[in-house]
Amino acid sequence: MAISQLIDTATEYFEGTPWLGDSLMLKLNRIDFRVVNATFPNSQNSIARIVKHILNWRLFMIAKLEGDDLFDIEMNTDQDWTPITIKTEAEWNDLLHQLTETQSRLLEILQKQEKDSFLENKTLGRQYSLGYLINGVIQHDTYHSGQIGLLYAYLKKQN
> Cα–Cα distance between 46 and 102 in angstroms, integer?
21
- Which pLDDT value is given to residue 59? 98
pTM, to two decimals: 0.96
Mean pLDDT split into 10-residue runs, the chain, 159 residues = 95 96 96 96 95 98 97 96 98 98 98 97 96 98 97 90
- Which pLDDT value is given to residue 158? 85
Residue 119 carries which side chain, given as an amino acid letter? L
- Which pLDDT value is given to residue 1? 80
Backbone angles phi, psi at 142, to 5 degrees: -65, -45
- Which pLDDT value is given to residue 92? 98
Phi/psi region, residue 21 (left: phi>0; alpha: psi -120 to 50; beta: rest), is left
> Cα–Cα distance between 32 and 111 in angstroms, integer?
34
- Which pLDDT value is given to residue 159? 72
